[in-house]
Amino acid sequence: MAISSRLPAPCSLLMATLMLLIVQAQSITRHYDFNVQMANVTRLCASKSIVTVNGEYPGPTLVAREGDRVLVRVTNHVAHNMTLHWHGIRQLRSGWADGPAYVTQCPIQTGQSYVYNFTVTGQRGTLWWHAHISWLRATVYGVIVILPKLGVLYPFVAPHKEVPVLFGEWWRADTEALVSQALRTGGAPNISDAFTINGLPGPLYNCSAKGTLRSLCASMHLNLQRFINLVTSMLTVRPCHFADTFKLKVEPGKTYLLRLINAALNDELFFSVANPSVSSASPTA
């Protein structure tokens, strides 16, 4: 006599329902509020007003787990139209949340809001978000961190610390004016004045710590008054000299996960670390 291993229909339905509830219990809905607003930012010892999200440059980090639903309410408080693109997110049945202006959505106008609604499906790792209209992504961008599902381990030794590293560019001029000029003339936009790491240009530009020290040493050979003036300016009106570089302190024997993202507009950038043991955890989009 043959014995069937199939469960009765009611039992099968019950098991399927329980499995669905377990999956749903592991996933949550994450809410974010992104306020697009102007902010004064000082780089290369000069201040200018730039478009930001929540007044941050770079913008806030969006964190989710694989399977989570993400709702991002974007409210536009600036004079420019705005859309945001979630770079690398697989928009499965949510193409209207992808963000390219005039392609998947109309731009968010001044004073208006829009809710991006998508689910992270079959992905984990490091992605990024950015403005997807005109050249606003020069300053409007940030990190997306997708963690594994609860109970799923990393495919490598757990790091001591995770650090997002965003490579970008900085222009002294208004980037919207630059791209408008390029469209009028047919030429390429002017290149940036500095490359940045996490929004900071580093110490090697004219207005930076090392550049100021070179000027300081040179002034010592010219006259005492210029030397005094330069020292005074360093201590009073130019604090940017001392806070212009991203720094990561590491300890021997510990592992650090660097989440590398190239947010530069038109450049391929290359990254290396001198001497330590480095391995690639996973590619990014």
Superfamily of domain 28-151: Cupredoxins -  blue copper proteins (2.60.40.420)
Looking at the chain, the whole-number percentage of residues with pLDDT higher than 70 is 77
The per-residue pLDDT of the chain, averaged, comes to: 84
Query: Quick check: 132 pLDDT over 70?
Result: yes
Q: What is the pLDDT of residues 252-278, one digit of tens each?
A: 999 999 999 999 998 889 888 887 677
Looking at the chain, the whole-number percentage of residues with pLDDT higher than 90 is 61
Helix (H), strand (E) counts: the chain? 4, 11
φ and ψ of 229, to 5 deg: -60, -40
| pTM of structure | 0.79
Query: Quick check: 230 pLDDT over 70?
Result: no
Give the integer Cα–Cα distance in Å for 131 and 76: 12
Question: What's the pLDDT score for residue 271?
Answer: 87
Query: Quick check: 3 pLDDT over 50?
Result: no
